[in-house]
Amino acid sequence: MTERIQHIMNEIRAKALEIHNELVHERNKNQALQAQIQENEERLQAAKQLENQHLAAIDQLTLDLEVAKNQVVEVSVPQNGRNEEQIDELVKEIEYCIGQLKK
């Protein structure tokens, strides 16, 4: 009976050691996964910051585009006015020249 008890105790030790080794292995796996989670969270935060920077840049560029459109409209209006004035002057000159030719 002592041998049987000794054999059972050895089996229990072996199983306990096996369970302990599995526990150590799982803990190591868990630590590696925790480190990966931390790294992914840091990368996510960096990506969010970059996204916010890009959104701010897009907003600024949109604002700049609107300002540029307004400037183009403002600049083109005076040029059209000048062109019309020049055309009027040319028409008057042509009319004057035609009048001179008729005489």
Span 34-91, pLDDT tens digits: 999 999 999 999 999 999 999 999 999 999 998 888 876 554 555 555 678 888 888 8
> Does 11 reside within a domain?
yes
Instruction: Identify the residue whose tokens are 């008057």.
Output: 92
Q: Is residue 101 part of a domain?
A: no
Q: Name the domain count of the chain.
A: 1
**Is 9 domain-assigned?**
yes
Q: Is 94 within a domain?
A: no
Asked if the structure places residue 14 within a domain, the reply is yes
pTM: 0.53
Does the residue 81 lie in any domain?
A: no
Containing domain of residue 19, as a range?
Answer: 1-75
Do the domain assignments include residue 85? no
Domain assignment present for 93? no
Q: CA 70 to CA 62: how far, in whole Å?
A: 12
DSSP string, 17-82: HHHHHHHHHHHHHHHHHHHHHHHHHHHHHHHHHHHHHHHHHHHHHHHHHHHHHHHHHHHHHHHHHH
Distance between CA atoms of 33 and 36, rounded to whole angstroms?
5
